[in-house]
Structure 1
Amino acid sequence: MTATRPEATQVLGGADTHADTIHVAAIDALGRDLGDREFPTTPTGYRDALAFLVAFGALTVIGIEGTSSYGAGLTRAAQAAGIAVREVIRPERSVRRLQGKSDPIDAYQAARAVLSQRAAAAPKDEHTEAIRALNNARRSAVKARTAAMNQIHHMLITAPTLVREKYRPLKEKALVNALAACRPSTKDPTSHGVLTALKTLARRHQFLTEQADDLHQQIRDLAQAANPHLMSLRGVGPATAAQLLITAGGNPERLRSEASFAALCGTAPVPASSGKTTRHRLSRGGDRAANCALHTIALVRMTSDPRTRAYVRTQRDRGRDHAEITRLLKRAIAREVYRSLTRGLAAPELTDLRPARQAKNITLTAAAKALGTYPSKIVRTELGTYPDCDLADRYRQWLLAA
C-alpha cells in the first residue's frame, strides 16, 4: 500500500512482532486505517518500517508488542529516530475471538491501543538487559548444580556397599572433590559404572559452581555500576540487587509512586479483617521474584541487624505473628528500595577506610576486635563488596580516635 496522506496528518503506528518479521500499521488521529505492511526483522527492515509509517504523515508514537523480546530491535530503532514508543499488551481472548486474529489485525489493534491510551506504558529499560541475561544464566547454572547434587545423593543410596560406605559420610564440598578425583578402576562392573557416573556428576557440579561464581561476580559489578546506593543498603547483595533492578527496569511505569512499586513487589498491605479481628495479610500478587528478593533482605536483617531485631521483639510483644512482622518489614524495605531507585542517591564513601587503617598500622584482627565484628566483615566493608554502612560509620570514628 502506498502512502498518500499529507505530512500534516498526525499518524499513530502499531506493530505486531515475530522472530523473523514485523507487521506495522498506521492510523490517523480519528482511528481510520491508513495502511499496513510486513518487514523483516533486520536493521534495514526496521528502517523501512519506520519510513513506511512516516510517509503517511507526522508519526508521533508507535505501539509495539513485546518491546523487550521480538520487538526489541524495532523499539531501539524507533527511539533512535526520536519516536515515542509504548508497550502494548496482547489483546484478551474475548477480543480476539470476536475480531479474529492476523498480523494486520494485531498491528492495527496495537495502534488503536495507543490512541485510546490503553497502551500508555513506557518500553522496558534495555539497560537492565545485561543484568537480566546474566541473572538468568546464573539461575539456570545454580538449578543444574542442585540437580547434579541431588543425583549424587540419590545414586549413593543404591550404590554398592563399598562405594556407599566410602563416600556417603562426606559433606557436600568434600564429597564433590573426592568423587571428581576418584579413579573408577574397580573390577566390579557395577561399582565401576556407578563410580563413573558419580565422577561425571561431580565434575559437572564443579564446572557449574565455577560458572555460577563467575556470573555472580559479573552481576555484582553491573549492579554496583547501575546503582551503588542500592548495593550499600543493609542486607542487599548482588542477587537481590540485580532482581530489584530487573523488576524496576522491566516496569518503569510502576515507579510513579512508592505505593505503586510496593504493589509491584507484592508488599502492599491487603485487608484481612473479620469480625473483631483487624489485620492485614501478605499480598500474593506482584512480581514474585522481586517479592522473594525483599523477603531475603528481611531475613538477613532479622538475623544480623540490631535495629531490626529490636523492632521484631517490639512487634512480638504487641501480639503480632511472624507473617505479619515480615509483611511490615518487607513494606518498609520496599519504601527504602524505591527511594534508592528513583532519587539517584549517592553511595556512602568507603575508599578512605583501608588507607586510614594502614596508615596507623592497625591489623584487621585488631579492628574487628575493637568493633565487635569479624575481620572478613571489615574487609568487605573496606572493599565495598558487601558494605555495612553502620559499621563503616563506627569504623571511621574509631579510626579517627585511634
Structure 2
Amino acid sequence: MTAVVVEGTVDQNVFGGVDSHAGTVHVAVISDNGGHLADAEFTTTAGYAAALAFLNAHGHVIAIGVEGTASYGAGLTRTARSAGLHVVEVNRPDRAERRRIGKSDPIDAYAAARAALSGRASGAPKDDTVAGIRALHNAARSAVKARTAALNQIGHILISAPEAIRAKYGPLKAKDRTDALARLRPAGDAVHTAVLTALKSLARRVRELTAEHEALTKALDAEVTVHNPGLRAVHGVGPDTAAQLLVTAGGNPERMRTEASFAALCGAAPVPASSGRTNRHRLSRGGDRAANAALYRIALVRMSSESRTREYVARQTTAGRTKKEIIRLLKRAIAREVFRCLTTTVTVPGIADLRPLRQAKNITLTAAARHFGVWPATVSTLERGIRRDDTLTHAYRDWLQAA
C-alpha cells in the first residue's frame, strides 16, 4: 500500500473517490471544501476493509464516488454499502479535462471524489438483484454471435468450394444445410476431404451453439419471469428484451426518477432541435443503445401482431408521418409502459385455468381460434402464458365458462 497524506481532523466531513482496476483500487479523500487530504492504493479483495478504514480515519464519510461500480469497482461497492456508506456511480472524466490535468490513478481517484462532492455524480450503483440475469443474458448473446460467425464461415467456404460440394450443399438453406453437413462423412481427394471436414466441424458447432442458446434462453426466461412477471407479460416483450431492460434499469428503480428520465436513459426521448423560427425535435442518439434496440424490437412485434398498434400506425400514416417517426413515437410510449412495470407491481391475470377448462369442454384450439377470429397459435401462446392479451384472456375465459 502506498499513501500520500495531508493532515486533517477526524471529526470533519469528507468525501471519497475510487479509481478501480482488476487487481487494485486507488482511494482518495477530500474535505467538504474540496481540499486534498490523502490517497492510497489497496489490493483487492483483502484490501476493501482497509480502504474503508482509511477513509473513515480522515473523518465522517458523506459519500464515495466509485468508477466502475458494475465492473472492477463492484467488490468495493458491495463492501462499502454493507458498511452503511453512501456510494455514487462516477463516469470517467471527459476528454477535455483529462487532456488538461493528465491521467493517473491518484488524479482519477481525486476526480471521482470531487464528482461526489459537487453532486455531478449522483447515480445509485447497480446492485446484485439482476446480476444473474445479466450473466445469462451475456452468455446467450455471445452464443448467438458465435453461431452467426460459424454460419457465415460455412457460407464463405461454400462460395469457393469445389463445384461438387457447392452444387450439393449450396442450394440448401438454414437448418437443412446445417443438418446435412453435420451428418456427412468426408471423402474424396485431399481438397474435398479437407473442405468437407471443415464444413462438418462448423455445422456441428452451429448445432451445439443452437442447443446452448436455447437452454440459456429458457433459464433466462425463468429468471426474468420470477424477477418481474409484469414486464415479461407485456405484449412483445420476450426473454431477451426483458433481460436487457432489467439490466439497463440496474435493479434500482430509484435510478429512474420519472418515466421521462427512463425514456432518456433508453435514448427514446425526443431531443429539441429548434432554431429561430424552426420548432422541431429529432431522434435521440444518446442513452443505452441496447435498451433502445430492445424498445425497437418490441415496437416491430406490436406493429405486426397487435391490432391496437396497427390501428395507431394506420392513423399516423394517414396523418403524413413517416415510418421512422411512427417508430419513435411507439418507442416513447413503450418506454412509458415499461417504466410502470419496472417501478410498480403489475398484476398479471392468471391463465392456469384456461387450458384445463377448454379440454374439459372438449373444445379444440382450432375451434376456439375460429370463434375469436385469430390463429390457433395465438390461443396456444395465450394459454401457456407466452403472450399477454388481457382483453382476449377475459373474453376467452367467459366464452369457455358459458360453452
Task: Report the equivalent of 1:207.
Answer: 208
- Decide which moves more: 208-217 or 128-137: 128-137
For 2:122, give the aligned amino acid: A
| 2:42 corresponds to which of 39, 56, 70 | 39
Distance (whole Å) between structure 1 residues aligned to residue 351 and residue 6 of structure 2: 60
For 1:395, give the aligned amino acid: Y
Task: Report the equivalent of 1:245.
Answer: 246
SS in structure 2 opposite 1:296?
Answer: helix
The CA deviation at 1:308 is: 1.1
The CA deviation at 1:231 is: 1.1
Task: Report the equivalent of 2:29.
Answer: 26
- Asked whether the 8 Å contact 1:185–1:192 carries over to 2, the reply is yes
- Asked whether the 8 Å contact 1:230–1:241 carries over to 2, the reply is yes
Deviations 1:122-177 (A, max 9, x none): 11233222222222222221112112112212222222222222222222111100
- Asked whether the 8 Å contact 2:129–2:251 carries over to 1, the reply is no
SS in structure 2 opposite 1:16?
Answer: strand
For 2:229, give the aligned amino acid: P
The CA deviation at 1:237 is: 0.9
Task: Report the equivalent of 2:312.
Answer: 311
SS in structure 1 opposite 2:11?
Answer: coil
- Asked whether the 8 Å contact 1:272–1:280 carries over to 2, the reply is yes
Distance (whole Å) between structure 2 residues aligned to residue 304 and residue 279 of structure 1: 31
Task: Report the equivalent of 2:365.
Answer: 364
The CA deviation at 1:63 is: 1.0
Distance (whole Å) between structure 2 residues aligned to residue 278 and residue 50 of structure 1: 52
For 1:237, give the aligned amino acid: G
- Asked whether the 8 Å contact 1:125–1:252 carries over to 2, the reply is no
Are 2:126 and 1:111 aligned? no
Task: Report the equivalent of 2:127.
Answer: 125
Distance (whole Å) between structure 2 residues aligned to residue 22 and residue 100 of structure 1: 19
Aligned length: 400
The CA deviation at 1:273 is: 7.0
- Decide which moves more: 306-315 or 103-112: 103-112
- Asked whether the 8 Å contact 1:269–1:280 carries over to 2, the reply is yes
Structure 1 residues without counterparts, runs of 5 or longer:
none
TM-score by length of 1: 0.92
The 5 A counterparts of 1:134-149 are 134-149=136-151
The CA deviation at 1:360 is: 2.9
The CA deviation at 1:286 is: 2.1
Question: CA separation of 1:84/1:323 partners in 2, compared to 1, >3 Å: closer, same or farther?
Answer: same
TM-score by length of 2: 0.92
CA RMSD of aligned residues (A): 2.4
Task: Report the equivalent of 1:344.
Answer: 345
Deviations 1:63-117 (A, max 9, x none): 1111011100000001111111011122223333333332223222221221111
Distance (whole Å) between structure 1 residues aligned to residue 284 and residue 36 of structure 2: 43
The CA deviation at 1:252 is: 5.7
| 2:154 corresponds to which of 152, 155, 160 | 152
Distance (whole Å) between structure 1 residues aligned to residue 71 and residue 357 of structure 2: 49
Task: Report the equivalent of 2:170.
Answer: 168
- Asked whether the 8 Å contact 2:11–2:59 carries over to 1, the reply is yes
- Asked whether the 8 Å contact 1:21–1:41 carries over to 2, the reply is yes
Task: Report the equivalent of 1:17.
Answer: 20
For 2:28, give the aligned amino acid: A
Task: Report the equivalent of 1:397.
Answer: 398
Deviations 1:161-199 (A, max 9, x none): 22222222222111100110011122x222111111110
- Decide which moves more: 232-241 or 125-134: 125-134
